[in-house]
C-alpha cells in the first residue's frame, strides 16, 4: 500500500522555502457542561477539601467509577500521579534500601517516588523501538534486596505485562505499573493498571484523563489500599470505616498531603464518561497517519504486535539517523520550520542525572543521596545502549486528536515526507553548519 500523499520537493522552509503550514490540535482538555456545572456547585457549597468518602461523597463516587474501569480494583484518589505512585510503594511496604528494578527512560516522577521511599532504583535498559522497559534484562538485575519491578507505560504504550507478571511471580516480587500516560491502553485484552500489585495514574490537565491536578492508585489488595492511604490521606481515611484493626495504632497525621480536591473528584467522574471515545479517536488518527507514512524512509512509528492497543498520549517516532545521514536535531529543526513541533521527551538517561551521583554531587542537599551512598550505588557511566540511542534518535509530539481532524493528520504526513524528500539538502546543511540545536524538552 502506498501513501496517498506525494512528497513535496519544494524548497524546505528551513532553507528559505514556504512552510507547509502549522499543525494545530483541537482544544484539550475539554470539559462537558455537566462537569463544569458540578464543579461550580462544589465551589458554591464551599466543598473545597475532602477527608475521604464519608466526608465528601463525590470522592467515593469517583473512586467507584475508577474501580469499574479497572476491573473492580480498590481505588485511592490522590492529588497527583506522583502521589499515587508513592502511595502504591508505601502500600506495598517498599522502602528503606529495598531495590526496585525500573527504567531510566521516563519522566522523573517515575523514579522520585522510589527515592522518596528511601528505596533504590535499579536501572535496566529499554526496547529500542518503543522505549519501554525490556523484560528480558530484568532477571539479571535481581539481587537479594530486590522487592519490586516498576514498569512505565510510556507515551501511552503498554509494557509487556504478561512477561513482567511472570518474572515477578517467579521471583516473588511485586509488580507496580506507572500508567500516568496510558489510561485505557491495553495489551492482550488487559487494561494497564489491572495486572500489577498496584498502579499509579496521573490526571493532571495535560494527561489523557485530564482534571486540573490529581491522580489515583489502583490495587487488587485491600491492605495495600489502607497502607497507601496512611501515608498521604487525612488520618488514613480511618473515618470512612473498614480500616484493619492492626493498622489503627499507627494512623496519625505524620503524612504527606496527597488528598484529592473534591472538585477534581467530580472531574474524574465526568471525564471517565468520555475517555473511551477520545481514545478511539486518537487511535483512528494514528492509523491514518501510519497509512500516509507507509512509504516513508527515515522517520518511523513503532511497530506493535497483535493485541497491543496504545492510548497515544504522545506520538513517539524514531529517526534512522545513519540512513538519513543527519542528526535527529537537524531533522526536527526542519519539521519545526514547516510547522510541526517535535521534541526529545527524555533529555538523557535518568541514571546520568547529577542528583543521583553522591560520589561527586556538589548541589543543594538531597534527601536520598545518603540512602544511595549507604547502598554503595554507582549510577555513573551505565551503558544502557538502547536508552542512549533513543535519547539521540527519538522525537515526540503531543497528539490530542480527540475530535475528527483528518486534514491535520494529512498535513503532518505531508511535512514529514517533504523533509525526507529533501534529505540531501539537509545533509549539505549539516556538513556546512553542523547539527541544529537539540530538540529536547525545555
Residues 295, 195 share a domain: no
Pair 19, 156 in one domain: no
Residues 399 and 314 in one domain: yes
pTM of the model: 0.96
Q: Say yes or no: 205 and 318 in one domain.
A: no
Q: Is residue 242 part of a domain?
A: yes
Examine the pLDDT at 7 and tell me if it is beyond 70. no
Let me know: does 353 contact 104? Beta carbons within 8 Å: no
Percent of the chain surpassing pLDDT 70: 97
Q: Provide the pLDDT for residue 37.
A: 98
Give dist(CA 108, CA 265) in Å, integer.
25
83 and 106 belong to one structural domain: yes
Record the cell numbers describing residue 140, joined without a space.
Answer: 539479571
CB 218 within 8 A of CB 74: yes
* 16-54 pLDDT tens trace: 999 999 999 889 999 999 999 999 999 999 999 988 999
Give the chain's mean pLDDT.
96
pLDDT tens figures, 180-199 = 999 999 999 999 999 999 99
Give pLDDT, residue 8. 66
Q: Which of 259, 274, 289 is the last residue of a domain?
A: 274
The CATH number given to whatever domain includes residue 416 is: 3.90.1150.10
Q: Report the domain count for the chain.
A: 2
Q: pLDDT tens across 307-348, in order?
A: 999 999 999 999 999 999 999 999 999 999 999 999 999 999
Instruction: Let me know whether 292 and 327 are in one domain.
Output: yes
Residue 377 · residue 369 · CB < 8 Å: no
373 domain residue, yes or no: no
Q: pLDDT tens-digit profile of 258-294?
A: 999 999 999 999 999 999 999 999 999 999 999 999 9
pLDDT at 403: 94
User: Residue 107's domain spans which residues?
Assistant: 33-274
Mean pLDDT score, 356-363: 97
What's the rounded Cα separation, in Å, for the pair 74 and 220? 6
Indicate if 206 and 295 belong to the same structural domain: no
Interval 142-153 mean pLDDT: 98
pLDDT at 181: 98
Tell me the per-residue pLDDT of 74-101, one tens digit each, with 9 for 90 and over.
Answer: 999 999 999 999 999 999 999 999 999 9
Residues 295 and 318 in one domain: yes
Q: What is the reported pLDDT for 436?
A: 85
Flag whether 439 is in a domain. no
Q: What is the pLDDT of residue 437?
A: 80
Where does residue 184 fall: left (phi above 0), alpha (psi -120 to 50 degrees), or beta otherwise?
left
pLDDT at 2: 54
| DSSP, residue by residue, 281-336 | HHHHHHHHHHHHTTT-SSEE-----TTEE---SEEEEEE-HHHHTS-HHHHHHHHH
Cis peptide before 29 (omega within 30 of 0): yes
211, 239, 274 — which closes off a domain? 274
Helices marked H in 14-55 — which ranges?
33-44
Beta-bridge partners for 150: 176
CB 210 within 8 A of CB 275: no
pLDDT value at residue 439: 74
Would you place residue 435 in the very low, low, confident or very high pLDDT band (cuts 50, 70, 90)? confident
* Strands 215-219, 74-78: pairing kind: antiparallel
pLDDT, tens digit (0-9, with 9 covering 90-100), for 50-78? 889 999 999 999 999 999 999 999 999 99
Q: How large is the greatest C-alpha to C-alpha distance in the chain, in angstroms?
A: 73
- pLDDT tens for each residue of 166-182: 999 999 999 999 999 99
The CATH number given to whatever domain includes residue 160 is 3.40.640.10
* pLDDT at 442 > cutoff 90: no
CA distance between the termini of the chain = 38
Q: Is residue 359 part of a domain?
A: no
Quickly state the pLDDT bin for 440 (edges 50, 70, 90): low
Residue 79 located in a structural domain: yes
Same domain, 222 and 79: yes
pLDDT for 123 beyond 60 = yes
| Residue 322 sits in the same domain as residue 244 | no
Amino acid at each position: 500500500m502506498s501513501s496517498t500523499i506525494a512528497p513535496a520537493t519544494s524548497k524546505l522552509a528551513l532553507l528559505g522555502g514556504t512552510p507547509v503550514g502549522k499543525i494545530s490540535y483541537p482544544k484539550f482538555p475539554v470539559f462537558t457542561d455537566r462537569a463544569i456545572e458540578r464543579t461550580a456547585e462544589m465551589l458554591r457549597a464551599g466543598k473545597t477539601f475532602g477527608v475521604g468518602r464519608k466526608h465528601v461523597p463525590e470522592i467515593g463516587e469517583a473512586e467507584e467509577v475508577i474501580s469499574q474501569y479497572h476491573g473492580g480494583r480498590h481505588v485511592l484518589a490522590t492529588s497527583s500521579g506522583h502521589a499515587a505512585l508513592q502511595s502504591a510503594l508505601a502500600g506495598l511496604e517498599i522502602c528503606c534500601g529495598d531495590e526496585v528494578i525500573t527504567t531510566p527512560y521516563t519522566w522523573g516522577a517515575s523514579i522520585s517516588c522510589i527515592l522518596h521511599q528511601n528505596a533504590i532504583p535499579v536501572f535496566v535498559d529499554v526496547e529500542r523501538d518503543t522505549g519501554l522497559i525490556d523484560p528480558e534484562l530484568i532477571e539479571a538485575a535481581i539481587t537479594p534486596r530486590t522487592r519490586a519491578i516498576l514498569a512505565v507505560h510510556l507515551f501511552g504504550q503498554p509494557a509487556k505485562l504478561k512477561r513482567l507478571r511472570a518474572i515477578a511471580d517467579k521471583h516473588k516480587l511485586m509488580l507496580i505499573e506507572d500508567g500516568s500516560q496510558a489510561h485505557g491502553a491495553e495489551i492482550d485484552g488487559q487494561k494497564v493498571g489491572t495486572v500489577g500489585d498496584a498502579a499509579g495514574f496521573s490526571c493532571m490537565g495535560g494527561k489523557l484523563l485530564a482534571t486540573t491536578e490529581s491522580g489515583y492508585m489502583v490495587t487488587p489488595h485491600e491492605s495495600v489500599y489502607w497502607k497507601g492511604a496512611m501515608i498521604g490521606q487525612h488520618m488514613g481515611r480511618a473515618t470512612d470505616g473498614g480500616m484493619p484493626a492492626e493498622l489503627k495504632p499507627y494512623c496519625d497525621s505524620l503524612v504527606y498531603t496527597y488528598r484529592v480536591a473534591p472538585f477534581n473528584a467530580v472531574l474524574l467522574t465526568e471525564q471517565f464518561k468520555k475517555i473511551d471515545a477520545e481514545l478511539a479517536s486518537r487511535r483512528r488518527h494514528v492509523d491514518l497517519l501510519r497509512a500516509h507514512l507507509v512509504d516513508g524512509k527515515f522517520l518511523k512509528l513503532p511497530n506493535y504486535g497483535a493485541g497491543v492497543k496504545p492510548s497515544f498520549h504522545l506520538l513517539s517516532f524514531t529517526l534512522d539517523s545513519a540512513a538519513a545521514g543527519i542528526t535527529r536535531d537537524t531533522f526536527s529543526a526542519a519539521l519545526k520550520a514547516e510547522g510541526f513541533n517535535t521534541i526529545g521527551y527524555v533529555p538523557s538517561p535518568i541514571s546520568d542525572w547529577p542528583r543521583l551521583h553522591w560520589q561527586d554531587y556538589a548541589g543543594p542537599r538531597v534527601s536520598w543521596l545518603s540512602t544511595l551512598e549507604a547502598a554503595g550505588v554507582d549510577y555513573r557511566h551505565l551503558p544502557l545502549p538502547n536508552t542512549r540511542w533513543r535519547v539521540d534518535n527519538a522525537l515526540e509530539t503531543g497528539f490530542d486528536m480527540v475530535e475528527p481532524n483528518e486534514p491535520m493528520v494529512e498535513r503532518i504526513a505531508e511535512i514529514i515526507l517533504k523533509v525526507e524528500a529533501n534529505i540531501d539538502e539537509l545533509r549539505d546543511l549539516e556538513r556546512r553548519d553542523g547539527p541544529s540545536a537539540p530538540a529536547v524538552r525545555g
